[in-house]
Chains A and B, each alone.
Chain A
Amino acid sequence: MTTATESLPPPTASTGPIGWIRERLFSSPLNTILTVLSVWLILMSLPPFIEWALIKANFTAATSQECRAGGGACWAFIGVKYRLMLFGLYPYDEQWRPLLASIFLIGLIVASCMPRFWNLSIVIMWPVGLVLVAILMWGGILGLKYVENTLWGGLPLTLILATFGIALAFPFGVMLALGRRSRMPAIKTLCVLYIELIRGVPLISMLFMSSVMLPLFLPEGFSIDKLLRAQIAIILFAAAYLAEVVRGGLQAIPKGQYEGADSLGLSYGQKMGLVILPQALKIVIPPLVSLFIAVFKDTSLVVIIGIYDLMQSTKVALTDPAWRGFSIEAYIFVSVIYFVFCYSMSKYSQNLESRLATGHKR
């Protein structure tokens, strides 16, 4: 026979929903036990939670006594206190400014994630956006009242610390990773020392050091702003971890890629920037985003040096004697905010991974 056998369609994989259930949920004794256990767990926990959070909940109470009477969640508390939680001690009448600043900042970040802006517009967008954010937050010009940054707090502060933390730690971390793999002993030693030193110290102690020890070393009368010190500590800390993540990616690139680039006569910078790093960073997107999420959440540690981020201003909201005892509601509220940001990062990274796939990892 000269012609090839005709291609056949694949066999029907499933036999309807009952087949699916039998195959996926009850295929073996162990699987059956796990299915029953999970269903039991859901039945035990979900209805009481829904009853507490929605059915018996009070959304409109004017006082805490009235709110407590129903026996359910008191979401009215959030209604009363959300501005304190979101904006901290920022002057009440001016709180539209941090709101607007947060929206700008989120808008900038979202736009930076879209490939259609990966050109000159991103280079213009950021400085303009940051100047706007700074004007809104500080004020002092254009008829805006001056607000010093010790009064900043809540969500905009968390966003600012995280955005700059990640954006500046990233290039620094990449340089450290390249430095650690350098053939020049001085550079290599310096990078190894830095990475190991910073990684060996908790972030909390770095924040303490930045607020207590750093002023001791600075000349008298010269002081760096507290917020800036915390920001620098976060950047320095994140960079060390980032460097190790990136180094993992660099080590996964085969030697042949370096040789291919060398044989074309590409310089070190071109080789790294055009050939090695794009591949290495793509490999480490999952751990990289984990790290970004961790940095975002770790910004809450700045409370220990008296900066009112989202977490700390929530705690302040809980201290009002008129509204005592609604910490569960308050913490659920901030958790949802943190979750929305972190989950978006995670989703975006998955999206990025599939977009950057070029068919070589078959």
Chain B
Amino acid sequence: MVAPIIELQSVNKWYGEFHVLRNINLTVKKGERIVVCGPSGSGKSTMIRCINRLEEHQKGHIIVDGTELTNDLKNIDAIRREVGMVFQHFNLFPHLTVLENLTIGPIWVLKKPKAEAEETAMKYLNRVRIPEQANKYPGQLSGGQQQRVAIARSLCMNPKIMLFDEPTSALDPEMVKEVLDVMVGLAEEGGMTMICVTHEMGFARKVADRVIFMDRGEIIEQNTPDEFFSNPQNERTQLFLSQILH
């Protein structure tokens, strides 16, 4: 049996009085590709943001690749180095060129020489198919291109785990595919553990090993994509699926 790379044990979190994560238990195996879906406000983003400590959980344990997330800054840094994240709004640095966006992490965090970092950056820009944009600023690119740069930026850190927080929600419809293609490519290559919050059910069917449905801060149901879509167990899942699959 493969050892789990991410473990969430009875994780709870509150925003003020609002109980946003209720007793979340989740085990992710190395190389597993998971899609998390659910209605808005169900805590899916909050859950994956807890995994690299962009949000703090208040109860329970989160263990990433053998290291437990605590207030210890050393642990947080160690985990962030292994976990890449792609955001809904890209969060590229607008004052830096695309290439500088890709090398800032490797140079300052991984202490790589500049030439090597740039070589790696160009490799990943080729992979997301926009090497010709290397010297432009993010503001000069389209949304789809920016999101591909953001994916490349995370990959440059050579992470073991990639978290995607609604990566296509802020994109114009005609740009969704170019980003999904990159993600599918990454998933099909294998080896990378991926957790993806998304409403792209086509993507879930195509690459996910497991689909997780969350509602009101709880994990309601999880299953393989085939079972999940054809035979949802819980009535809340059925309602959700009937609303998004027309």
Contacts and interface: CB of A to CB of B under 8 A. Distances in A.
A96 B147 CA distance: 61
B139 A360 contact: yes
Interface residues of A, number: 24
A266 B157 CA distance: 11
A275 B138 CA distance: 14
Interface string A2-26: 0000000000000000000000000
A264 B153 contact: yes
A260 B92 contact: yes
B81 interface: yes
A265 B77 contact: yes
Contacts of B138: 360
Nearest to B136: A359
Contacts, number: 74
Given A264-B80, A265-B81, A256 B105 contact: no
B94 interface: yes
A260 B91 contact: yes
Given A274-B104, A274-B108, A359-B137, A265 B93 contact: no
B237 interface: no
Given A279-B94, A358-B94, A358-B137, A263 B108 contact: no
A263 B101 CA distance: 13
A345 to B, nearest CB: 23
Nearest to B97: A358
A267 interface: yes
A259 B87 contact: yes
Nearest to B157: A264
Q: Which of A256, A260, A266, A270 has the most CB of B within 10 A?
A: A260
A347 interface: no
Interface string A108-143: 000000000000000000000000000000000000
Interface string B155-187: 001000000000000000000000000000000
B75 to A, nearest CB: 12
B54 A263 contact: yes
B57 to A, nearest CB: 16
A98 B140 CA distance: 50
Contacts of A263: 52, 54, 80, 83-85, 87, 91, 154
Given A257-B91, A259-B87, A362 B80 contact: no
Contact of B139 (A259, A260, A266, A362): A362
Nearest to A259: B54
18 contacts: A257-B91, A260-B87, A260-B91, A263-B83, A263-B85, A263-B154, A264-B80, A264-B104, A265-B157, A266-B104, A266-B109, A274-B108, A278-B95, A279-B93, A279-B94, A282-B95, A359-B137, A359-B139
